[in-house]
């Protein structure tokens, strides 16, 4: 299937590792160009080396990037400008933000809640709003996907802050889809389950029994790979999924028990 990504440009926040990098790689593999961001410049540089591959006169760069903090109000505009400067256009974004610290909702401090709200909720919403506003002025629109979590539908033990913020962000995505849909812009949410990222490895190391319980609750009896998530995300961002908006799509091996 031709996803229609050739020559298009996507912004991928949190794109230096894990789900973001896997999505950026899937987009590039299908002919797109990407702008990635992460808070750590060294991680951005390493990801760009992987995405661009060996440099040469017949192999122009397909990826650019910058260190950026989603909690900074100026980040979305700066990344949008970078995409326009380097590639001349922007067709959408995958908005991925690192997960908040583990712990129950009651045990998290006010400062942890505030910091997570600024990055996980407000930072993601601000980026989605900025990109969608830009896309609304283009004749062919575009798409914005927010990386949420299955906690948007069902709480996850030990991830109280995520349980508190993700459902609200999911409803904000629905609201954005309603607002920008008439102008050709699609907005949707992705709900990864247990995907084998560095973050999940750290969570599992702190709770080996919980790891086995989680595996037992997944019908496929395994964790997903970042590449499996990335291919789903690339499809949903692409013109091939042009009639999908306002939806929350689980990528969780069947673990979520709600509709």
Structural domains in the chain, CATH included, are 9-200+226-251 (3.40.50.720)
pLDDT at 198: 87
For 122-173, write each residue's pLDDT tens digit: 999 999 999 999 999 999 999 999 999 999 999 998 899 999 999 999 999 9
pLDDT at 215: 92
For 159-176, write each residue's pLDDT tens digit: 999 999 999 999 999 999
Q: How confident is the model at residue 237 (pLDDT cuts 50, 70, 90)?
A: very high
For 164-223, write each residue's pLDDT tens digit: 999 999 999 999 999 999 999 999 999 999 999 988 888 888 888 888 888 999 999 999
pLDDT at 124: 96
Would you give the DSSP letter of residue 56?
B
Range 39-50 average pLDDT:
96
Q: How confident is the model at residue 57 (pLDDT cuts 50, 70, 90)?
A: low
- Indicate whether 55 pLDDT > 70: no
Per-chain mean pLDDT for the chain = 94
Closest of 147, 152, 154 to residue 217, by C-alpha? 154
pLDDT at 1: 82
Model pTM greater than 0.75? yes
Burial of 20 (0-12, 13-18, 19+ CB in 10 A): buried
End-to-end CA distance of the chain: 28
Torsion sign over Cα 177, 181, 183, 189: positive
């Amino acid at each position: 299937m031709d996803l229609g990504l050739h020559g298009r440009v996507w912004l991928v926040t949190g794109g230096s590792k894990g789900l973001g990098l896997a999505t950026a790689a899937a987009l590039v593999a299908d002919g797109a160009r990407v702008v990635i961001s992460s808070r750590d410049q060294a991680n951005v540089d390493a990801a760009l080396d992987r995405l661009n591959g060996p440099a040469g006169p017949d192999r122009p760069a397909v990826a650019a990037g910058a260190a950026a903090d989603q909690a900074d109000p100026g980040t979305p505009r700066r990344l949008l400008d970078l995409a326009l400067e380097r590639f001349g256009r922007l067709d959408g974004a995958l908005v991925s933000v690192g997960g908040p610290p583990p712990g129950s909702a009651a045990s998290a401090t006010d400062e942890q809640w505030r910091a997570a709200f600024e990055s996980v909720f407000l930072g993601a919403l601000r980026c989605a709003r900025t990109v969608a506003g830009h896309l609304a002025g283009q004749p062919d629109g575009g798409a914005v996907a927010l990386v949420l979590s299955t906690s948007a539908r069902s709480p996850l033990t030990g991830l109280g802050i995520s349980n508190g913020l993700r459902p609200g962000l999911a409803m904000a995505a629905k609201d954005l889809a309603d607002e920008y849909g008439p102008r050709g812009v699609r907005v949707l949410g992705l709900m990864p389950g247990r995907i084998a990222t560095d973050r999940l490895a750290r969570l599992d190391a702190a709770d080996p029994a919980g790891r086995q319980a989680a595996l037992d609750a997944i019908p496929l009896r395994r964790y997903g790979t970042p590449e499996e998530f990335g291919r789903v995300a690339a499809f949903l961002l692409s013109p091939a999924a042009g009639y999908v908006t306002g939806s929350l799509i689980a990528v969780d091996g069947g673990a979520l028990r709600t509709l």
